[in-house]
Chain A
Amino acid sequence: MKVDQISIFLENKPGGLEHVTRVLKDADINIRALSLADTADFGILRLIVNDTNAAEQALNAEGFTVKRSPVVVVEVPDRPGGLHSILEILGKRGVNVEYSYAFVDRSGENALIIFRFNRTDEAIEALLENGFTVLPGERVYRL
């Protein structure tokens, strides 16, 4: 139920992001979801790709520092209150959201939210218990 996400450290200067996407292009990697978090000095680029191992290899070879982290991808009912219903469950279980970003699956019917939790296993348990759809990695990489 956990999905592998790659994080890449980027200095805040022009060309950094372009370099990463060039490497992925050359390795024929497809990006599924992306989020770029920034501070004044540096940014962290978070990606879900279709082939995590190949991406890591290609990026490492180019000298990037890459980290793999487990995230959880949840289908969110596409209506007002959809996200709230998820967060309510997690709040009751005392699970904290470290960060989150969203994308849409190809059918366009569901919003998919990517979460990084402080207690991943508990979060997955709580979500499944309450009938939410948690997507396994294989499905996400192939979306």
Chain B
Amino acid sequence: MIFNEEFETLPREALEALQLKRLKQVVERVYHTVGFYKTAFDEADVTPDDIRTLDDLRRLPFTTKQDLRDNYPFGLFAVPMSSIVRLHASSGTTGKPTVVGYTKRDIETWAELMARSFVAAGLTKNDMIQNSYGYGLFTGGLGAHYGAEKLGASVVPMSGGSTKKQLMILQDFGPTAICCTPSYALYLAEQGEEMGIDVRSLKLRVGILGAEPWSEQIRREIENRLGITALDIYGLSEIIGPGVAMECIEGRNGLHVFEDNFIVETINPETGEVMPNGETGELVFTTLTKEAFPLVRFRTRDLAHLMREPCICGRTLTRMARVSGRTDDMLIIRGVNVFPSQIESVLLAIEGLEPHYQLIVDRKDNLDSLEVRVEVSETIFSDEIRELQNLERRIARDIKDYIGVSVDVKLVEPKSLQRFEGKAERVVDNRNI
């Protein structure tokens, strides 16, 4: 089933012609309305008139997360605030988050993309969708919500947490689909089993899972334990939120990128060269239909390869493989983006603490855990246990306030952590994703 037959099955030639037309419009618009782009294009010695074919996209400079940070909060917006009806934000590597904005039409565009995603998962307006993505500044919750309503399905806006309640709703309301992270799906299965619930006999048929990387192995486990089909959804707030690409239930082999709204490229992260079809590179997106926050060649730092072969579902949209890694050191802990540098800045802000630390990431009972090991130094060592414990608690509290994730803090002996000559490798990730 396809939500928007016309646009999701456009013959390639027509699709690419549409992309080119929209690309020209976007480039023209950002050149004249967003100072950052005018400067960037001028420096790259390219003007909107130079875009005559889709290949000319390569002449345009990249946009990075740092550019968004440098223009915090609203420097890259292409419309006045009076036209913005929604603001969302996403983790920054240090300090401030990156902010994105939406006009009324952008919200409708986004809702349609999510509706397309739900239909690609085999859902109709007769389905009930439990939305366990976090509602708030993160784009997951509200993104899925509006898409489900657009489709006409019945949404249960659960947001994250309250697992016992989630399980009660799964039994009593009988939703047929669930939106959450893959690790949360496993966690629900496990908690349900522990409570004596036969989770396989729930009315759940489909899981629309994303916001963190997951393997085929994990997919099989989720499908077995919950008795559902588990599909991958991809997105990032900078591009629009969830709904940039979605796996189809017919093919289950790669995620269709909604190319009438986005141009996708894969590049060599070192050289910026565009990779050929099938070779892994960094995903780069150009938005074609967003009004408030258009982005040209945004580097996602996610690694994947593209598949342009036709899919059995009938969609002519290019597929991206599952994201296989990052070009940076970002971690995803329980669905939340965490940069080690954020933790470092919290530690540096605590008087007397030296930034000799290590992050141990693990997955216990299907929930990600993060242990922050910090070396004790002369300055912070207190003879009193209470003070050291207070210090541990304070570190944990400051980290939680800053990045929104609860961590375990362990004080360790001085000089017991590895010292590095070059770039410090502070993260030990024991998860087998």
Does A associate with B in a complex?
Answer: yes
Interface residues of A (CB under 8 A from B): 5, 7, 9-11, 16, 37, 39, 41-42, 44, 46, 63-65, 67, 69, 98-99, 116
Instruction: Tell whether, in the assembled complex, residue A37 and residue B378 are in contact, meaning their CB atoms are under 8 Å apart.
Output: no
Cα(A110)–Cα(B383), bound, Å: 27
Contact residue among B377, B382, B385, B416 (Cβ-Cβ distance under 8 Å from A39) = B385
Contact residue among B382, B383, B384, B413 (Cβ-Cβ distance under 8 Å from A10) = B413
Instruction: Tell whether, in the assembled complex, residue A11 and residue B385 are in contact, meaning their CB atoms are under 8 Å apart.
Output: no
Interface residues of B (CB under 8 A from A): 376-378, 381-385, 388-389, 392, 410-416
A52 → chain B closest CB, angstroms: 14
Cα(A99)–Cα(B412), bound, Å: 23
Cα(A69)–Cα(B382), bound, Å: 9
Q: List 27 A-B contacts (CB under 8 A).
A: A5-B383, A7-B381, A7-B383, A9-B376, A9-B411, A9-B413, A10-B413, A11-B412, A11-B413, A11-B416, A39-B385, A39-B388, A41-B392, A41-B410, A42-B411, A44-B385, A64-B414, A65-B376, A65-B378, A65-B381, A65-B414, A67-B378, A67-B381, A69-B383, A98-B384, A116-B383, A116-B384
The 4 closest A-B pairs by CB, nearest first: A7-B383, A69-B383, A65-B381, A63-B415
A66 → chain B closest CB, angstroms: 8
Q: Within 8 Å CB of B413, what residues of A? A: 9-11, 16, 63-65
Instruction: Tell whether, in the assembled complex, residue A65 and residue B377 are in contact, meaning their CB atoms are under 8 Å apart.
Output: yes
- Most chain B CB within 10 A, of A9, A37, A44, is at A9
A24 → chain B closest CB, angstroms: 17
Cα(A46)–Cα(B410), bound, Å: 21
If A9-B376, A39-B389 are given as contacts, then 16 extra A-B residue pairs at C-beta distance below 8 Å, sorted by A number, are A7-B381, A9-B411, A9-B413, A9-B414, A11-B416, A16-B413, A39-B385, A39-B388, A42-B388, A42-B411, A44-B385, A64-B413, A65-B376, A65-B378, A65-B414, A116-B383
A13 → chain B closest CB, angstroms: 9
Cα(A37)–Cα(B382), bound, Å: 13
Q: Within 8 Å CB of B389, what residues of A? A: 39
Instruction: Tell whether, in the assembled complex, residue B376 and residue A37 are in contact, meaning their CB atoms are under 8 Å apart.
Output: no
Cα(A16)–Cα(B376), bound, Å: 15
Instruction: Tell whether, in the assembled complex, residue B377 and residue A46 are in contact, meaning their CB atoms are under 8 Å apart.
Output: no
Instruction: Tell whether, in the assembled complex, residue A67 and residue B416 are in contact, meaning their CB atoms are under 8 Å apart.
Output: no
Majority secondary structure, B binding face: loop
Q: Within 8 Å CB of B411, what residues of A? A: 9, 41-42
Cα(A98)–Cα(B382), bound, Å: 12
- Most chain A CB within 10 A, of B388, B389, B413, B415, is at B413
Instruction: Tell whether, in the assembled complex, residue A9 and residue B381 are in contact, meaning their CB atoms are under 8 Å apart.
Output: yes
Q: Within 8 Å CB of B382, what residues of A? A: 67
Cα(A37)–Cα(B389), bound, Å: 13
Cα(A63)–Cα(B378), bound, Å: 11
Q: Within 8 Å CB of B385, what residues of A? A: 37, 39, 44
Q: Within 8 Å CB of A10, what residues of B? A: 413
B327 → chain A closest CB, angstroms: 35
Q: Within 8 Å CB of A64, what residues of B? A: 413-414
Cα(A8)–Cα(B411), bound, Å: 13
Cα(A10)–Cα(B381), bound, Å: 11
Q: Which of chain A's residues has its CB closest to B375's CB?
A: A65
A82 → chain B closest CB, angstroms: 26
Q: Within 8 Å CB of B415, what residues of A? A: 63
Cα(A136)–Cα(B416), bound, Å: 37
Cα(A116)–Cα(B387), bound, Å: 14
Cα(A7)–Cα(B383), bound, Å: 6
Q: Within 8 Å CB of A41, what residues of B? A: 392, 410-411
Q: Within 8 Å CB of B416, what residues of A? A: 11
